[in-house]
Amino acid sequence: AQSVTQPDIHITVSEGASLELRCNYSYGATPYLFWYVQSPGQGLQLLLKYFSGDTLVQGIKGFEAEFKRSQSSFNLRKPSVHWSDAAEYFCAVGARAAGNKLTFGGGTRVLVKP
């Protein structure tokens, strides 16, 4: 069965600074990988996804993520954080064998300092 670990529960970053959120997955074959964001009081919104091909994936809101098979990682990055990026971020893994099911990590809450 697949699993996802997000090692950082909370991250505080200053506005304008860079942000990197870590995600490690466990799955025997090539996974489908996703990053979702949940703003306060909102449902989850897809930031980006990786299925195959180029390992550097561009998403919405200026985010990108890099798939590294050798490290079983799919870290999310943003070069310059805005106050509106304060939210909770979830990494998820899916697999065709799992029948469209997603397994989510525990989430990372990002606080942005002025």
Alpha-carbon gap, residue 107 to 114, rounded angstroms? 23
Determine, following the binding rule CB under 8 A, whether residue 49 of this chain makes contact with other proteins: yes
Using the contact rule CB under 8 A, the part of the chain among 17-25, 57-65, 74-82, 98-106 near other proteins is 98-106
By CB under 8 A, name the one of 42, 55, 58, 71 that touches other proteins.
Answer: 42
Closest to 33 (Cα-Cα) out of 2, 70, 79, 1 = 2
CB of 111: closest distance to other proteins in angstroms?
A: 15
By CB under 8 A, name the one of 51, 60, 80, 113 that touches other proteins.
Answer: 51
Alpha-carbon gap, residue 39 to 41, rounded angstroms? 6
Determine, following the binding rule CB under 8 A, whether residue 101 of this chain makes contact with other proteins: yes
CB of 41: closest distance to other proteins in angstroms?
A: 7
Determine, following the binding rule CB under 8 A, whether residue 4 of this chain makes contact with other proteins: yes
What is the separation of C-alpha 72 from the centre of its chain, rounded to a whole number of angstroms?
Answer: 13
Closest to 72 (Cα-Cα) out of 20, 10, 28 = 28
Alpha-carbon gap, residue 55 to 109, rounded angstroms? 25
**What is the binding site for other proteins (CB under 8 A)?**
4, 6, 9, 32, 34, 36, 41-46, 49, 51, 90, 92, 94, 96, 99-107
